[in-house]
Structure 1
Amino acid sequence: MDDRIPTHLEVTGLIRAVENAGGFATVIAKGERTAGTIMAVCCASATSARAYERMPQLDGSRKWMLSKEQGAENPREFSEWYQRRSRQDDDLWIVELDIADGERFLGEIVAKT
């Protein structure tokens, strides 16, 4: 049995936590309501956006991993990338966290994929 909370509740909690800290968070794409996966796009003014996804680990845990970072040369390519991912995966939720150091709301993060 999977002890995870439903994805829509986790997304709501993440948004509320960011807003309570003075930031702004929004859902860019909705995925499967109960067992969808989440991509968190962390952004703040004057910093490159970073996309994190929670990936299964060998020990059975699910840790956040950096999937992609926005390039300074072509910032539009980053948004095109996550929009393409959304079209390819109906289960994927994409949540934008517009706050300094948005990673602090994700918990443990491991190396880039």
Structure 2
Amino acid sequence: MTPRLASSVLVSALLRKAQDEGGFGAVLFKGDEKAGEIIVILNERGQKKGVFQRFLQADGLYSWQGMTGQVIENEGEFSKFIDRRRRFDPDLWLIELDIASAERFAAEMNAFD
């Protein structure tokens, strides 16, 4: 079995990367230190550019997948979605990053796993 990077370590790395690139990051909800699921909101200059979720693949590796749909675009629906997810999974991490290039940052997130 391949050792996995603890969720808290990955969250810290993502926050640090955003800060190192002149951006800002915040933990909105703190999940399980070791194995909590992670959702990342990526903003550019305060505008939501994407929401990404970390998934465990069949081969045992993780990948980030963009979440799409009206629930992501509508703030009220997104809040309800997160509330439902947290009731189902209290170990969920939710972090928000505001960075210069959300598209580039999203492409680089898989390097952390």
Q: How high is the TM-score relative to the length of structure 2?
A: 0.77
Deviates further, 27-36 or 55-64: 55-64
1:14: which partner in 2? Answer: 14
Q: Is 1:107 the counterpart of 2:92 in the alignment?
A: no
CA–CA distance in 1 between the matches of 2:108 and 2:22?
Answer: 13
1:111: which partner in 2? Answer: none
Deviates further, 97-106 or 43-52: 43-52
Equivalent AA in structure 1 for residue 98 of structure 2: D
Structure 1 residue 53, shift from structure 2 partner: 1.1
Q: Is 1:41 the counterpart of 2:41 in the alignment?
A: yes
2:27: which partner in 1? Answer: 27
1:65: which partner in 2? Answer: 65
Equivalent AA in structure 2 for residue 78 of structure 1: F
Question: Could you say which structure has the higher helix fraction?
Answer: 2
Equivalent AA in structure 2 for residue 22 of structure 1: G
Equivalent AA in structure 2 for residue 106 of structure 1: M
Q: Is the 8 A contact 1:17 1:105 kept in 2?
A: no
> Structure 1: which 5+ runs fail to align?
109-113
Structure 1 residue 94, shift from structure 2 partner: 0.6
Change (3 A) 1:23 1:105: farther
Structure 1 residue 55, shift from structure 2 partner: 1.1
Q: How high is the TM-score relative to the length of structure 1?
A: 0.77
Q: Is 1:81 the counterpart of 2:81 in the alignment?
A: yes
Q: Tell me the SS of whatever aligns to 1:43.
A: strand
